Structures are given as structure tokens and as C-alpha cells.
Amino acid sequence: MAVIAAASLSMLAGIGPAEAAKGPAQAAKKTAVVAEDPGPVGSFAWKGFNWQKRFWGGAPMYNGTWDPNNVSNPDANGYVKLSISNPTGSAPVGAEFQSTREGFGYGTYSTTVEKDVSSLQKEAVWGCLFTYDPNAAPGYTEIDLCEASAWGGGAAYGENWPVTQGHGYWFDATQPPGQGNNTVTFPVTNAPVLTHRMVWEPGKITFETYAGVDASGTLLKRTVLQGSTVPVPAKEQIHFNLWVTGGGGGDAAHVAPESVTIRDFSFVAGIPLTAPTPTVSGTAAVGNTLTANPGTWTAGTSLAYQWYRNGTAITGATASSYVLAAADQGAKLTVRVTGTKNGYATTTKESAQTATIAAGTLVAPTPTISGTLVVGSTLTANPGTWTTGTTLTYQWYRSGVAIPGATGKTYTLVAADQADPMMVRVTGTKAGYTTVAKKFGCHSAGELKHEDLKGKPAAVSAGESGTAAGLGS
């Protein structure tokens, strides 16, 4: 329980084992029932779990006095406040709450705390921690995300102790400090909000403390502890407490009221996966294919994909590649890669946004004209193979001037066409693509007689594509 957590670091600071010895015995008095997530109903529900406010007495509080009223229910922001009260001025009362669930195990633990710990009174101890099964051999065992105190100030030992923070764990509370624990202390800052994060995996624990509301803030301390003494999961519970130490030469009885606000707590089960941020390759234009490049994950990880358009999931876009559609034009896309593996924490990583998706470019070949250049004969426009789904329209021209009503794929030559160059324009349109027009002309050889045109195929005529003078595009 939290009982030993504070005492453990206090012994590191020079306080004797007498106070610490109270912990295991007191802890044994409070045994929760084995629970399923989120644990049995307790005093309140918070962050997906049930919690019990401490109502029983005993160590580590120097006078053994606790009050469940010193733990607030979650407020409108979802924050829980712990307080040290001292109603008589000479008998302070501590605060603690713990999860009703027993057994969390490997995974990532995180909590965000609103407190300038540099301002802690020298007798106050802020225990941001969780504890390991107190019945586990070889002795009472715990892990501390971060604990902060000056442990009474050290005057009783002729020393002056500043407020420090600690990462670490006790693997055998029957042994003295330095033999039964693995703990690292570090200086505090006056940051008003701190985030503590811990990744627990077989044979290894990584602790991190950040200034700010999440792991994007300034990293104040990272501690990696590993080896055979790292605890293995059992019936651990989560604890938070604020209490008063009687050691170190402080004036424990006259501690002034003190408080800490816990903004957040989260737990993600499982060993963390190696999970890089994915990247996206491909040209950001309609009709092109984007490909997610997930990077190298933990061996054996199964990967799933989901593409997003301006933050909204695209229905059915769950493959590692995605063909950009008309609906994507003008948007920015991301892809999320989710990794799963038995015994590991499911992890999702999201790529950076693509560039704004541009209109696609149609495959647009130059058309040809077939038929005989004889009045009364039919000319046929052969558009070639365009992008699938393209809608084609036609316009025929005589000497560069559009022929009214000549908008079909075929055109029958009339007397007015004799000796004039003929041309067809094919225009392709498709949603999400830039409209394209292609042209081909077949030219007569001057003022030929009607009969002179007979038998001269359009295929021998000169062709042109692109924009012709007077035709537009």
C-alpha cells in the first residue's frame, strides 16, 4: 500500500526504519477482494475505475490519522483534490485513496498533477504512486511513479534536506535502504503542473516526469530501472496520498493545511509495442494512390489501417494503400496504423497530414478521325482510351468554326463542308479531375471538286491536338 511508499524514500533520506516498519502490518489490515476491471464499487468512480477513500488509521501518517473527507469527489473538470487538514492546529489529518481493483500488471501508467511541489512544507509528503501486492515474497513490495518531500528537513540529523522527487521501487521491504530498494531522486522545479508516466514491462520499468499536462512538455527526469529485482504483476492497486512525516526534525504536529489536485490518471494494459509514426508516399492528386509506410514495429505485430479525410474516417478505406477519390479534392488526408499483439498494449499511430489533394489529371489521348472526305459520307471521331469513368463530349468544326448541332461522335459531310478543313474536339470530364479537350483536324487540298474527295481517307490528313486557333479548349 501507500504506507511503505513514503517511508521508503524517507529512509533514503536518513529516517530510520522504525516508521517504515509500521507499513506492512498496517497494510495487511486492508485486503480488497479480487476484482475485475474497473474493480468493485467504492467511494467514487473516476477515470474508468472505482476508488476507495481511506477511512482506516495507521502509518505512514505520523499520528496515523486519515479522513475520507480530505479526498474530494471528482469536480466538474474531473479533478480530485487531496488535502492535509489541521483543525486543532496540533493534529494534522492526511488523505489517501486507492483503486478497488487489484491487479493491473504490465502497461503504461500516467497521471497529471496540479501542484508546485517546490512549495511543499518540509513535513508534507506527496505520494503519487501505485503499490505492488503486499503479500508478495520476499516482502512487502511497491513501485513509486513519483514521490515528493523534504522528509522533515533533516534538522534532526544536522542536515538540511530540500524537497526532492523520486522514481523507483522496493523489491524487499525486509531489507534496509540500498539493499531492498532501487530508487533515484532528483530536484524539483516550480512547475505548477507535472505529468508522471511509467512503462512497466518484464524486467524493466521506465519512469518519466514532465513539466506540463502531458508528455509533450519539458522532460524533467527519465529513469530506467531493469534487472531481476523488477517486480512481476500480482495484486497491485493504485494509490495516491498526501500525508505528514514525523521524522527528519520537522514540526509534524503544526503542519498547515496543504493540498494537491490530481487532474488525470490513465492505464493502458500490456507491454508497449515498438510503434513508429507512419509516413505516406504518393502524389496528392485525385486518381493517384497513396501508400502508408508503417515503419518497423515489434516483430509479430498485426497492423490495421484507417484513412482519414480532414479528421473523419473514410468508409472502407482500411488497406495500406488508398486511391484518391473526387471527394478528397481540397482535403488533407492522414492514415492511422493500429498494432496488436498478444500480451502487448494495442497502439495507434497517426501520420502527418498530406498536402491538400489536387484535382486529378485525365489520361487524354489525341483523337483520330476515320471516314471518307466526300460530301454525304460520315466521319467518325475515335477518342482513344481515356481515364475510366470519363464522360466524353464532341464538337465538330468547319474551317475553325463550330458547326451548330454537330455534337455527336459522328458527322455526315454536307455541301457546305466541301473544300473546308474539318476538325473534331473531344472534351473529357470526370468529378475531381481537370477537364481536358483534345482536337484532331483533317484538311482538304484546296478547292477540290466533290468527286475528287472520293476515296481519300481522313487518316492521311494532318492532325493536331491541344488548343487550335479560334476553338478554345
Tens-digit pLDDT profile for residues 22-65: 232 223 223 333 335 899 999 999 999 999 999 999 999 999 99
Percent of the chain with pLDDT over 90: 73
149/29: higher pLDDT: 149
Structural domain contains residue 465: no
209-229 CB burial, b ≥16 within 10 A, e <16: bbebeeeebeebbebebeeee
Structural domain contains residue 469: no
Structural domain contains residue 160: yes
The predicted structure's pLDDT at residue 444: 55
| DSSP H helical ranges for 81-205 | none
Q: Report the CATH number at residue 301.
A: 2.60.40.2700
Instruction: Please list, in sequence order, all residues whose beta carbon lies within 8 angstroms of the beta carbon of residue 54, skipping any fewer than 6 positions away.
Output: 66, 68, 71, 95, 96, 97, 98, 241
Mean pLDDT of 393-411: 96
| pLDDT confidence band for 285 (50 / 70 / 90) | very high
Structural domain contains residue 470: no
As a whole number of angstroms, the distance between CA 98 and CA 78 comes to: 17
Are 305 and 330 part of one and the same domain?
Answer: yes
| pLDDT confidence band for 342 (50 / 70 / 90) | confident
Continuous segment of H or E residues that includes residue 12: helix 2-12
The predicted structure's pLDDT at residue 14: 30
**How many separate domains does the chain show?**
3
Note if the bond before 367 is cis, omega within 30 degrees: no
Q: Average pLDDT of the chain?
A: 85
Are 112 and 210 part of one and the same domain?
Answer: yes
Mean pLDDT of 224-234: 92
Task: Examine the pLDDT at 295 and tell me if it is beyond 70.
Answer: yes
Of 209, 242, 269, which marks where a domain is finished? 269
Strand order of the β-sheet with 368-370 is 368-370, 378-382, 410-412
As a whole number of angstroms, the distance between CA 220 and CA 166 comes to: 12
Structural domain contains residue 467: no
Of 235, 269, 303, which marks where a domain is finished? 269
Mean pLDDT of 146-168: 96
Task: Examine the pLDDT at 457 and tell me if it is beyond 70.
Answer: no
449/166: higher pLDDT: 166
Which residues pair with residue 222 across a beta bridge? Answer: 208
Mean pLDDT of 75-96: 98
Q: Give this prediction's pTM.
A: 0.61
Are 319 and 237 part of one and the same domain?
Answer: no
As a whole number of angstroms, the distance between CA 90 and CA 63 comes to: 11
Are 112 and 209 part of one and the same domain?
Answer: yes
Are 302 and 391 part of one and the same domain?
Answer: no
Are 151 and 228 part of one and the same domain?
Answer: yes
| pLDDT confidence band for 20 (50 / 70 / 90) | very low
The predicted structure's pLDDT at residue 250: 94
Are 328 and 440 part of one and the same domain?
Answer: no
pLDDT in tens, 353-392: 999 999 999 999 999 999 998 999 999 999 999 999 999 9
Task: Examine the pLDDT at 278 and tell me if it is beyond 70.
Answer: yes
Are 176 and 317 part of one and the same domain?
Answer: no
Task: Examine the pLDDT at 3 and tell me if it is beyond 60.
Answer: no
Are 381 and 313 part of one and the same domain?
Answer: no
Are 146 and 23 part of one and the same domain?
Answer: yes
Task: Examine the pLDDT at 468 and tell me if it is beyond 60.
Answer: no
Are 61 and 107 part of one and the same domain?
Answer: yes
Percent of the chain with pLDDT over 70: 86
| DSSP H helical ranges for 236-342 | none
Among candidate residues 185, 252, 191, the one with its CA nearest the CA of residue 218:
191
Q: Report the CATH number at residue 254.
A: 2.60.120.200
pLDDT in tens, 117-143: 999 999 999 998 887 777 777 777 789
pLDDT in tens, 192-213: 999 999 999 889 999 999 999 9
Task: Examine the pLDDT at 466 and tell me if it is beyond 50.
Answer: no
Are 260 and 391 part of one and the same domain?
Answer: no
Task: Examine the pLDDT at 4 and tell me if it is beyond 90.
Answer: no
Structural domain contains residue 209: yes
Of 358, 374, 399, which marks where a domain is finished? 358
Structural domain contains residue 473: no
For the ranges 3-17, 225-239, 289-303, 446-460, the maximum mean pLDDT occurs at 289-303
Task: Examine the pLDDT at 471 and tell me if it is beyond 50.
Answer: no
The predicted structure's pLDDT at residue 443: 67
DSSP string, 391-425: EEEEEEEETTEEPTT--SSEEE--GGGTTS-EEEE
Host domain of residue 242: 2-269
The predicted structure's pLDDT at residue 7: 35
| pLDDT confidence band for 91 (50 / 70 / 90) | very high
Structural domain contains residue 274: no
